[in-house]
Structure 1
Amino acid sequence: MAAPDNVSCQTRDLMYLRSMPLWRARDTPQRAFYRLYEAFCAADGHMVTYETEYFWARSSPAWATALIPDPQCEDPEQYAVMASLAEVLVESFMWRLELGLRRSDKAIMNRYRDPPSLVPEVCPTWATKVAPLKEKLLIHPDEDRYFDSPFHRRNIYMSTGHFYTV
């Protein structure tokens, strides 16, 4: 949160890396989750969108949201943010699934066919056990609109609109 410009500087390089099949093959859900955490804390909405869409497009069973590993943070603020991130990722994926999108679909779908059966995304068990913060944590002071989300239920205030894109 102290150096958001450092995170924004990495965005351009990350976009190039994603275009490399070898880099994508070696990428892991845990790495993507930490990149999402970094972008969220830096209040970089564009990077949050890119990372959410990247995670969504990785449809192999290894990239299931239920398998996001427990970061086991000692800092309660960091742990609450990461748990909320995991939950909002699941909620945004379920929103997409309810729209008829599927993680395994290509970028351009046939809008006239029925979507395959919905396989629900599941929140990692560790995330549901993380308690709310005692004091309000404001991630980006310029954001003045907040809606009910896993973040707000944990007393963390930041807009979550960047997770909901298609």
Structure 2
Amino acid sequence: MSATVSRSLNHVVRLFKRILSQPPQVPPTVSWLLEHRIARAGQSALTNGRTPTASLYRMYEYLVIGFTIGLRTEIEFFFNQPSWAVSAIPDPQDADPQRYAILSVLPYYLCKAFNRLIERGLPRGSPAIIAGDEVERELRARPIVLEEEPEWVLKVPSLAETLVIPRRQGEDPEEKYISERFRSKNIIVEEPHVLFV
């Protein structure tokens, strides 16, 4: 291989590494999403990328606009990336306090959804279709490895002012359905529907 071709290949490899390591495009603020929630309903999230952080930002968008199907689909997508341990989600260090507080709660819900399946014998990386007793026995024989939240979520402060994320139709959240985990960050939102399968 010539030196020129080798340099070109090295340049391309460095370029791809730089692109893949870049954080996702910063998504809209909570206020922008709430202002545009009707137009955004049923739409794909604005955040692109195939990284744990990009996926977390898409969950944030879906939660704020009240798009439950989008949120659950994104959670299922994350589940099907077995190399993405929840505890290894990098700290996004988001400069927007509202967005950062929401992002810090979402790993709790990933653990809740994933550990429910793992405890039932469906580990991450399982085939989409489990055909036959032999495959089922093999899955149940795997060691149970539960997901844990990343350490950075503990250092994210609660919001100074209460943030209320209304229900999908714009009504205030019902007290009996408010998420205690989000409330601990001074965010009033109904418990998200995160369980799938």
TM-score range for the pair, normalised by the shorter chain length? 0.7 to 0.9
- Kept in 2, the 8 Å contact 1:101–1:115? The answer is no
* Residue of structure 1 equivalent to 2:99: 78
- Kept in 1, the 8 Å contact 2:59–2:71? The answer is yes
Measure, in 2, the Cα distance between the counterparts of 1:149 and 1:101: 27
> After the TM superposition, which residues 78-157 of structure 1 pair with which residues of structure 2 at under 5 Å, given as runs?
78-109=99-130, 110=132, 113=137, 114-141=140-167, 142=171, 143-144=173-174, 145-146=176-177, 148-157=179-188
Measure, in 2, the Cα distance between the counterparts of 1:132 and 1:50: 28
Percentage identity across aligned positions?
31
SS for the counterpart of 1:35 is: helix
Measure, in 2, the Cα distance between the counterparts of 1:89 and 1:6: 27
- 2:68 paired residue among 37, 45, 48: 45
* Residue of structure 2 equivalent to 1:65: 86
- Kept in 2, the 8 Å contact 1:4–1:44? The answer is no
Measured after TM superposition, the shift of residue 139 of structure 1 is 1.1
Measure, in 2, the Cα distance between the counterparts of 1:87 and 1:153: 12
Q: Tell me: higher relative CO, structure 1 or 2? Use CA pairs within 8 A at least 6 residues apart.
A: 1
Measure, in 1, the Cα distance between the counterparts of 2:41 and 2:129: 29
SS for the counterpart of 1:162 is: coil
* Residue of structure 2 equivalent to 1:4: 37
Measured after TM superposition, the shift of residue 64 of structure 1 is 1.2
**Range 112-121 or range 3-12, more displaced:** 3-12
| Count of residue pairs the alignment pairs up | 154
If the length of structure 1 is used for normalisation, what is the TM-score?
Answer: 0.77
- The verdict on how the C-alpha distance between 1:134 and 1:95 changes in structure 2, with shifts beyond 3 A counting, is farther
If the length of structure 2 is used for normalisation, what is the TM-score?
Answer: 0.67
Measure, in 2, the Cα distance between the counterparts of 1:149 and 1:91: 14
Measure, in 1, the Cα distance between the counterparts of 2:183 and 2:73: 22
Give the superposed CA RMSD.
Answer: 2.8
